[in-house]
Amino acid sequence: MAMLTSSVASTAPVATSIHARVGWDRVTRRVAPRPRGRAVRLRAAPAPTDTSVKFVDFDTSGCGPFPLLEPTRGYSHVSPGVCDTCADSAEARRAWVALLLGQLPSHRANAERTATFLGDDCPPDYVDRYRAWEGDYETYLAEISKDDVPAGQGATLLDMVDTKEKLLRARGLDDMFAGLKRDENAIAAVLFHSIAHEIDSIWSPNDANSSESDKARMIQAVLECCLAGNLFDAGAAAAVQGVAVGDFCEPCVMEPDSAEMSEEEVGRYKLDAVQLAEVFARARERVSRDTSEGGWRFDSLERIQERCGRSPTGGSPSAQGPGWHRVVIFCDNAGADVMGIVLLAKALAAVGGSGTEIALVANTHAALNDVTHTELDAFLETVAGADPILKAQIDAGAVRAVPSGQFSTLLDLNRCGPELNGWVTDQFEKVPASDEWLVVFDGMGRGLESNWNPAPYFKDGVCLLNLAMVKSEINAKRLDAEVYDCVVKLSVGGSK
């Protein structure tokens, strides 16, 4: 839990109000439609910065290095050309500062959306808090952009995004993207079942007529769904549609014939689900693997398919059947992104069969539009209600949600939470660290801007998958790629 040492007195009620308005029923774990609150408009110009604002730190007691890291190899969250370069170069820091400042209009729009989402529960000074936070953050970014910093001592990208979250909480803004995430999780849950049915129709462990080539096609389809979901990161969905997903779909994950919905709401529900399916189909087309052009920019699909088609041999610990027996997936955004990742977890659990366990890992604390553990857990229970395969996997412990202990949009594996580290350590009794483990880094923040080359730091044999879409020029340039290039990159612990 964050240690909220802010001078803003009503911070705790804000978080309580957000959780209440999300509408996740603690018993049914479903999203209920909520009435829209009054619209709140945020002015573009930030208020003058309050120089007395205090940093809010997070309680990281019990956090420590991820157990699959090799302690002697000196892990750093650094990705080449990001945090190391920022620490050394004011020019590099200013480039990332420009990107972060460019995100403020999106933040402003989502603060407005969350204020509307809170409705009558919205604190009267919410707008003032947000405007003050913009001033706080702009002042911080201006300070770290200065030239008079010794090489190696400049603020890193991790410092920049961490400070953003701390300053938000200092102003009592615990989850500025709560409204967006609630809407996008709800509509993604509507879409989940049709996509899951399509995936199951390609290959299913329950279909005796399914072939290995069917399984390979299924794996490709699931990875394309993950990439399409990653495209839906806030602001990037404009690449495949004219409006933001949440702008044309009222949130609802209840059945269309629910007694709580009017006839008009039922009609809108059906229309919105169709629209969303069409938009997601276009996203899938955009990320589909074109073999005539050599596949994706970073492409390990065939290696993943080969591993998932591996025949059981017995005897050798390194050849114990298809897939991986233990998988840790570090999740990224809410909405369509987490939908794709849940499809991946379901597929890997099905491929691995009995004894396979998958941990879907999400931030403990809110960070922009990244899904939190609480939101992920609720999403899983909602979609599993109409998916017997996924429900059976969850009931058997083959798929589960685990909190990461983190509060950042990047991922520093040196500060993983005790629940995650405890789960991994417990699994070593059954499956020691080896090539039977797979760690997935989903999205730009966890797999491109941090942990781009994790293999040298992990225990020998552990498999590592960077799964993301390149969605910014600054990342495209350093990776010698193009914006919207796809990354499906498999590496092995201990390699360079």
41 part of a folded domain: no
For residue 240, CA distances in Å to 9, 105, 245 come to 42, 20, 10
Same domain, 111 and 200: no
464 part of a folded domain: yes
Same domain, 473 and 392: yes
Q: Degrees (nearest 5) of the Cα angle 112, 96, 417?
A: 75
Same domain, 272 and 409: yes
Distance, in Å, from the CA atom of 115 to the CA atom of 109, rounded to the nearest integer, reads 10
What is 230-243 written as a DSSP string? HHTSTTGGGGT-SS
6 part of a folded domain: no
Same domain, 375 and 238: yes
Q: Which amino acid is at 448?
A: L
1 part of a folded domain: no
Range of the domain at 106: 11-35+52-178
Sheet strand arrangement including 486-492: 298-299, 486-492, 463-469, 437-442, 326-330, 357-362, 399-403
Same domain, 101 and 116: yes
Same domain, 282 and 164: no
Q: What is the SS3 assignment for 402-468? A: EECCCCCCCCCHHHECHHHHHHHHHHCCCCCCCCCEEEEEEHHHHHCCCCCCCHHHECCCCEEEEEE
Q: What is the CA radius of gyration of the chain?
A: 22
CATH number at 308 reads 3.40.50.10880
Q: Which phi and psi angles does 10 have, rounded to 5°?
A: -100, 30
Domain limit, last residue, from 178, 200, 235: 178
44 part of a folded domain: no
45 part of a folded domain: no
Same domain, 84 and 162: yes
Same domain, 384 and 237: yes
Task: Report which of 376, 416, 421 is spatially closest to residue 394, judged by C-alpha positions.
Answer: 376
Each residue's pLDDT expressed in tens, for the chain with a length of 496 residues? 333 333 333 333 333 333 333 343 433 333 333 333 444 444 433 444 444 566 677 888 899 999 999 999 999 888 877 988 999 999 999 999 999 999 998 889 888 888 888 888 898 999 899 999 999 999 999 999 999 999 999 999 999 999 999 999 999 998 989 888 888 898 899 899 999 999 999 999 888 888 999 999 999 999 999 999 988 764 444 433 443 333 323 322 223 333 444 444 444 434 456 677 788 888 899 999 998 888 999 999 999 999 999 877 654 444 568 999 999 999 999 999 999 999 999 999 999 999 999 999 999 999 999 999 999 999 999 999 999 999 999 999 999 999 999 999 999 999 999 999 999 999 999 999 999 999 999 999 999 999 999 999 999 999 999 999 999 999 999 999 999 999 999 999 998 8
Same domain, 164 and 189: no
372 part of a folded domain: yes
Same domain, 308 and 447: yes
Q: What is the DSSP letter of 391?
A: H
Report how far apart the first and last C-alpha atoms of the chain are (Å, whole number): 37
Same domain, 230 and 353: yes
Domain limit, last residue, from 178, 202, 233: 178
pTM above 0.75, yes or no: yes
3-state SS assignment for residue 164: helix
For residue 257, CA distances in Å to 33, 34, 190, 252, 270 come to 14, 17, 14, 12, 11
140 part of a folded domain: yes
- Listed as own residue / partner, the contacts of 135-142 with beta carbons closer than 8 Å and 24 or more positions apart are 135/46, 135/47, 135/48, 135/49, 135/50, 136/49, 136/50, 136/53, 136/167, 136/170, 136/171, 137/104, 137/163, 137/164, 137/167, 138/46, 138/49, 138/101, 139/49, 140/167, 141/97, 141/100, 141/101
Q: Do the bridges between strand 463-469 and strand 486-492 make them parallel or antiparallel, or are there none, so unpaired?
A: antiparallel
Same domain, 338 and 486: yes
How many domains is the chain built from?
2
Domain limit, last residue, from 119, 152, 178: 178
